Structure formats: C-alpha cells, structure tokens
C-alpha cells in the first residue's frame, strides 16, 4: 500500500505498465458485467415466492369483510394500513397505501403541487415564478430527474457523514421563499449509505423556513434494509416535526419493492393527518383504489413487523457477502494509495466510490471499454453533473459474487490508471 | 297501461293512494338495497379465480426471459402488449400497459397536459387562460370530476341514440380554441348504453378543430362487455383518425377491471405512436414500471382474444338476467304511462332512466327513504347538475336478482308518485 501521490514519475510509469497489462488481460476475456442496477438478485426474489400464491380459494376477503377482488379502498385495506403504519412509524390515519411504486407516489405529489399547490393558501408551483429544491448530493438520480423534468431548479447541498450539510440547508431555507423542499433518503442514503443523525433530523424538523409550502421529501426506501446485526436507528422525523410545531413539514414514503418483489410490491405515503387527508381528497379524482389483492398477499405473507424484519435477515444473508466483496477488493487494490475513498454502508443497495477530482468520467469510460458497465459519472448529482467529477455509484446487489469480484478488480485498475495519469499531469 | 298525463285529478288521486300504500309496505319491510355501484358481483369475480394463483413456481418469466418479479418494463411485457394491442385494435408500438386503473391513466394524462402541455408547440393547460371540455351527457361522473377538480370548464353536449350531438360538437370545436377535448365512452356508454355509430366516429375523426392541442378522450371501458349474441361493433377511431390525417387526435383507454378483477386488473392506454412515445417519455419520470406479475397472470390466464371473449360470455350469462329484470319491472310498472323512458342497453353496466322533467331528485330521495339507494340525481352531468333534473343511473350488476326486482319495483312506484304530484301541479 503506497501513497501513489508520493511516487515519482518513473515509479508511476512502471506501475502504469503493470496495471495496463492487467487491464488488457481483462479486455481479452470479453466479459460483460453490470454494476449499475440497484435491484434485487433472483435469490432475493426467491425468498418471497410463497407470497405469489398465498391467496387460496376463498381467501380474498379482508378482515372487515371487503372482497379484495372488487373496487374500493382508496387508501388501503385496514390490515395493510396497520402493518405499514407500524413500518413507517405513524398512525393508521397518517398513511396511504398506494400501488406498487413509491416513486410514482412522489412524482404524483409533485404533479399535485404543480397544479394545485401544497397548501390551501399557497399558489400552484407552476404559477409561481420559480421553484427551487435542495438536493443533498450525491443522491438518488430519479429524485433529481423529477425536478429537472418539471423545471424545478436544483440546489446541490453537500452530503456529510451524518446527513446533509445542515448549516448550508438552514441558511438557504431561511432566506429563500422559492426553496420549496429538500430530497432525503434518510437511512442508507442512495448512494452514500449515510444514516441521518438524530441531530440532523432534529434540525430538519425545527429549522426556520421562509416558504410556507416547504416540504421535506423523506424517501425512506431502506427502512429495514440492514446488513448488520445492529441496525442503524433513524429518528422518526414526523414525531420530531410534531414536537417542533411543524407537523405538516414532512412527507414520507416507503415500499416493499426491495422486500417482496421489485415493481410488484406495495408503496406507501405517510405524513400528518392533515397532509394525508389533503392527498386522499385529490387521489380520489385519480383512482377508485389500488390493487387490494396485492396488499392482502403482503399482509398474509408477512403477518407483522417481525415477519418483515425476519424476512430482511434472509435478504441480508444474501447481500452481505456481496457488499463485503466490494470492500475487500477495493481495500486490497486501492487501500492506502491515497487516490480514492469509498463508503462502507451498513445497509441499503449501494457503495459510493470517490476518485481523485476529475477522474470519475474517465474511470467509467475505461471500465466500460473492458466490459464492466458502471452508473454514468455524474448520475448522482443534479443535472447529471458532479462538480468535482469524482463520484461513482456501485450497485452490488444484482450480480453474482464472482462477477462483483471481477468487476471491482477492474474498476480498481481503472481508478489507478486514471489517477496515475492525473498525477502525472496528463 | 294508461297514459298518466291523460288522467283527471280524482283518477290520479286514486292511483296515488294505491301507490302510497305500496310504498308504505316497502318502508315497513326495512330493506336496504343499493343500485348505485357499477361493479361486478361476486359470481362474476369467481369466474377468474384460476388467475389468482396461475403463476406456478418458476413461472414468473416472460417470453423474452424477463424475470417479472424484478424492476423494469415501463410500457408492459411484450406478450401483454401483443394481447391488449389486439384488444384495443392498435399496433404494439401504439399501446402502454399501465397499472390496474385506466382512470388513473386518464387522470395522469390530464396532469401532464396541465403541467407540460399536450404537444411540443402548445402551452401547458395551466398556463393557458381557460381550458374547456365537451362532455356528452348523461355521461361518466368520474370523467367530469377530473375536469371540475382541475378547473376545466365543462360544456354539456347532448347524447343522442348514436353518440354525441355531432352538429353541436362540430360547431363548438371549430369555433373555440379553448375547447381542448371531448370525453367519450364510445361503446355501451355510461350510463345510456349508447354505441357510437360509424357516422359519429367518422365525424369525430374528420371534424375541423380550432385547438391544435385538441384530444378525443376515448374511454373504451366496455369494449367486450356485450350482453347479446350479436355484439355491437364500434368503428376503430384511431384508424379513422389516421385516414383523416389526424392520427394524434385520439387517446384511448381500456381496462380488465370488469373482465378479471375490479381494481386488480390491467389498464392500458393507446394512441398514435407519436402520442404514446410522448407519454412514455414522461411516464419514465413517474415509475420504473407497472406490476408485471399481474400482467403475466392476465396473459397466462386469457392466452388470447378468444380467451377474453369466451370469458366475457360467462359474464354475460350472469348479467343478462339482471338487466332483463330491470327491463321487465320497468315495462310492467311504467310502460305506456308516458312518465318515463329508459335505455335498453346491449352491453355495459348501466340502465339510464329518464323521468318527467324536474322529478329525478325527488325520486332518488323517495327511494332512499324506503331503503333503496340510487346514484344521486345529477351525477351523470357536469357539475352534478342535470339541467332537466330527470336522469337516474341504475346499476344492476352487483345486487342479486331478487334485490334488483324489489328495487326496481320501488323505483317505479316512486317515479309514479312523483310524476303524479308533478301532473297535479303540486
């Protein structure tokens, strides 16, 4: 483990030759590996197969007698609301069970805000001159895409080890009425794996905000997606917001896409009763109700929160070796070389790799030319532009272990080669 | 069968006494019947029970190898697109398979129009001074609710026996740029049962329209929901629009909610490739993809169009006696009395009853006081206001035969009582 930045030019050239040989070897193997997709692997999906056919003949009635094969139930079955209210840490009148996509519910929340506003006494966002959003970055590309699509100006805020840079956030939201919200993935943040600290949660709940229609968009996508025996605990933002006298400040989402079946799970939205009631009134124009049979499948299969957390231990058993492999290879290849750092997440779906400044695009390109597909550099930032061009999102959940090992080895070689060129001033 | 309007006052009083006795008898029975709900009955839902568990172990792969338990497939599985493209009479690149609700897809189409406009060279509807929509009435209340919710001004157009009054439609859309569309349920229209004639379809496709962002919203909800052996045929509006040089004029929807399971079916949107491509680009911001397992269930279970039409014959066998009962009781009780007329639909879910002018609200109220719930008078018109206060929507699919008989008898009594009062000038 030598600090590459302490080597002289001939030493770097020698190292470059070795690495180039290894890179060429990879190229000659004609491999095709994909580290871009934050989606479960088949073994994870196999875990819930018994859910697929769990509604036996005559078993399609909810506890209250509802025939789940028929219309109705705008905000979800009572038993689904009960289970997922506990999951989200809210009351049953503070949750809406939706269809299968939480992203869909977030998108629709934006659309409603654009067309009808967020509160009764503020204008539709589309009729306000400019809407801005805070985007702690690196963050989730699909959040940013919604803002870009709707012409909402994104302001990048630095993501620290305990959440967004709250000094910056507080300063911005206090001063600018046009800032209407902040995107948050508060637990095992995509892609950094950061868990928001209690202090950050408290400050988000209590901070002084200029815009009356300001909302914290709390996408708690990885609420139970722990990789360790001692899961991180996230403070309940809705509770803290209530204590701070700002109950309507937060909208929360969750989903079972990475618990049961991706794209065929259950999505949910939660918040103060007032926020939820407002959303329900509007959703009543959109649909007669979501797929209750799928809700029933979930409740029958998981039964209760223990059912969910037990199930997630099986996911962890599959994912842990994959995440460990990423760490092992990165540490072996890049450790102590002073050219990269990376997250060591205790849950979630991603590892965030930072190269030297200005190197990410070249690393992704180089990896691609040897058959390893990485998430495009910049994808984790607003407007797909990483100002320091150094962040690379790694998604180890889907590929098999052997592929991950190979891919990470190649990525490490690319990082070194690109770094050496940078150090050499090329 | 006597024309009530030809009776003198004492005759009417005598008849009123008899009817009042019958009405009181009904009241004393303390019945509770519901004729409001256009939803399938349990027996209909039982028909598709084998679909519930048709994805056996290992059977979750689509024809192209897609693991339907995982993310992806924005516009639907290839085999789902193939089947429902045939269902909708379009090409596979002219359809998007959505989640379970076609109403949801229509609502979202409006939201996209409000925020981003309908074409690249027209303004978002929310940024245009006023948006108007043509609403052939009586029509589907949920269509009208979307317009009302979004502040879109509704213009009532009369519904004739062969579709909307096209003279009125053509005159309006030719003159007013602010009229952006027309709602249509073209086959077995809700609630009149009207099937649009070829001539109406041709005129809709070819008419001169002032607004460049004008759209016909073609909610073909009852495409295969026939009650007779000789189903009505509806001309394919998309084909005719293409022939008329207006391929982008129409957006079409369908759903299996009244084929498989209500609320757990598959919804679809179709139109020109250009319209579908535009929608897909925008839906990509909304979701990673709909529930593919449910698509697979539908394709596996129905297999092909014959599978669907055969299945619908079983629905018809259940529904036909119910619709016949409505006709029989109405004919027996009201036939020849010159105080009401009603539709005799050959498909769909509703019977439309017209009383004498000004009587509908009182009939609904009176029926309710004897335990029979009817759709509120006015519900089938924009702003829930029937200008002639005479239309009542009857929904015979859900209640058992005996209930329908009772309910229709009571409704007939109420119609006569209210009519007599009207004739007597009270």
Decide if A289 contacts B99 (C-beta within 8 A): no
Decide if B236 contacts B89 (C-beta within 8 A): yes
Rg (alpha carbons) of chain A, rounded to whole number: 23
Angle at A281 between CA A275 and CA A282, to 5 degrees: 95
Confidence label for A423 from pLDDT (cuts 50, 70 and 90): very high
pLDDT at residue A262 greater than cutoff 80: yes
> Residue A278 contacts by C-beta under 8 Å, 6 or more apart in sequence?
none
**ipTM of the complex in this document:** 0.96
Confidence label for A308 from pLDDT (cuts 50, 70 and 90): very high
> Residue B345 contacts by C-beta under 8 Å, 6 or more apart in sequence?
B188, B192, B193, B227, B323, B351
Contacts of A115 in chain B (CB under 8 A): 111, 114-115, 126, 150
Model pLDDT, residue B53: 84
Residue closest to B266 by CA, chosen among B138, B123, B75: B75
Nearest-neighbour CA in chain A from B48: distance (Å)? 10
- pTM, two decimal places: 0.97
Closest residue in chain B to residue A114, using alpha carbons only: B115
* A66: phi then psi, degrees, rounded to nearest 5: -55, 130
Model pLDDT, residue B56: 77
pLDDT tens digits, residue range B338-382? 999 999 999 999 999 999 999 999 999 999 999 999 999 999 999
State the CB neighbour count (10 A cutoff) for residue A368. Answer: 13
Task: Find residues 4-33 of chain A whose CB sits inside 8 Å of chain B.
Answer: none
HEC profile of B78-139: HHHHHHHHHHHCCCHHHEEECCCCHHHHHHHHHHHHHHHCCCCCCCCHHHCCCCEEEEEECC
Residue closest to A304 by CA, chosen among A83, A12, A33, A65: A83
Q: What's the token pair of residue B302?
A: 């129905």
pLDDT at residue A81 greater than cutoff 70: yes
The stretches in chain B having pLDDT less than 70 are 1
Nearest to B72 among A108, A150, A263 (CB): A263
Contacts of A55 in chain B (CB under 8 A): 52-53
Confidence label for A426 from pLDDT (cuts 50, 70 and 90): confident
Decide if B94 contacts B270 (C-beta within 8 A): yes
Q: Given CB atoms, is A108 within the 8 Å cutoff of chain B? A: yes
Q: Given CB atoms, is A45 within the 8 Å cutoff of chain B? A: yes
Nearest-neighbour CA in chain A from B75: distance (Å)? 13
B285/A146 Cβ within 8 A: yes
Contacts of B80 in chain A (CB under 8 A): none
Instruction: Transcribe A40-57 into DSSP letters.
Output: --HHHHHTTHHHHT---T
Mean pLDDT of the A74-93 span: 98
> Residue A367 contacts by C-beta under 8 Å, 6 or more apart in sequence?
A373, A374, A407, A410, A411, A414
Instruction: Give the whole-number percent of chain A exceeding pLDDT 70.
Output: 100
pLDDT at residue A161 greater than cutoff 80: yes
pLDDT at residue A1 greater than cutoff 70: no
Nearest-neighbour CA in chain B from A2: distance (Å)? 42
Among B61, B285, B289, the strongest candidate for a mutation testing the A interface, having the largest count of A CBs within 10 A, is B285
pLDDT tens digits, residue range A341-391? 999 999 999 999 999 999 999 999 999 999 999 999 999 999 999 999 999
Q: Given CB atoms, is B39 within the 8 Å cutoff of chain A? A: yes
């Amino acid at each position: 483990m030598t600090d590459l930045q302490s080597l002289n030019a001939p030493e770097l050239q020698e190292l470059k030759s070795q690495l180039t040989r290894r890179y060429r070897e990879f190229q000659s193997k004609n491999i095709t590996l994909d580290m871009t997709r934050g989606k479960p692997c088949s073994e994870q999906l196999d875990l819930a197969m018994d859910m697929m056919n769990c509604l036996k003949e005559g078993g399609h009635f909810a506890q209250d007698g509802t025939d789940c094969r028929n219309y109705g139930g705008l905000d979800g079955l009572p038993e689904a609301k009960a289970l997922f209210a506990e999951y989200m840490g809210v009351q049953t009148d503070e949750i809406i069970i939706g269809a299968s996509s939480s992203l869909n519910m977030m998108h629709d929340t934006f659309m409603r805000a654009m067309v009808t506003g967020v509160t009764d006494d503020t204008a539709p966002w589309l009729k306000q001159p400019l809407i801005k959003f805070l985007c702690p970055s690196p963050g989730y590309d699909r959040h940013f895409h919604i803002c870009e699509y709707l012409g909402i100006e994104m302001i990048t805020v630095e993501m620290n080890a305990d959440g967004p840079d709250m000094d910056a956030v507080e300063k911005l939201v206090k001063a600018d009425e046009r800032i209407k919200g902040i995107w948050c993935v508060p637990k095992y943040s995509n892609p950094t794996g950061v868990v928001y600290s209690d202090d950050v949660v408290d400050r988000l709940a209590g901070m002084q905000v200029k815009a009356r229609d300001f909302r914290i968009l709390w996408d708690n996508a990885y609420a139970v997606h722990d990789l360790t025996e001692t899961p991180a605990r996230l403070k309940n933002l809705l509770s803290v917001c209530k204590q701070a006298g700002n109950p309507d400040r937060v909208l929360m989402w969750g989903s079972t896409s990475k618990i049961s079946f991706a794209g065929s799970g259950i999505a949910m939205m939660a918040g103060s009763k007032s926020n939820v009631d407002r959303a329900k009134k509007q959703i009543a124009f959109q649909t007669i109700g979501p797929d209750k049979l799928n809700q029933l499948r979930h409740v029958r299969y998981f039964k209760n929160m223990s059912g969910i957390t037990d199930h997630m231990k099986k996911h962890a058993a599959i994912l842990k070796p994959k995440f460990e492999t990423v760490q092992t290879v990165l540490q072996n290849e890049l450790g102590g070389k002073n050219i990269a750092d990376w997250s060591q997440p205790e849950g979630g779906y991603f590892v965030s790799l930072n190269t030297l400044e200005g190197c990410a695009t070249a690393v992704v390109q180089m990896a691609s030319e040897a058959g390893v597909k990485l998430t495009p550099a910049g994808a984790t930032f607003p407007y797909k532009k990483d100002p320091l061009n150094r962040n690379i999102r790694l998604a180890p959940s889907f590929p098999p272990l052997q592929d991950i090992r190979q891919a990470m080895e190649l990525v490490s070689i690319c990082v070194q080669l690109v770094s050496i060129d940078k150090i050499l001033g090329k």
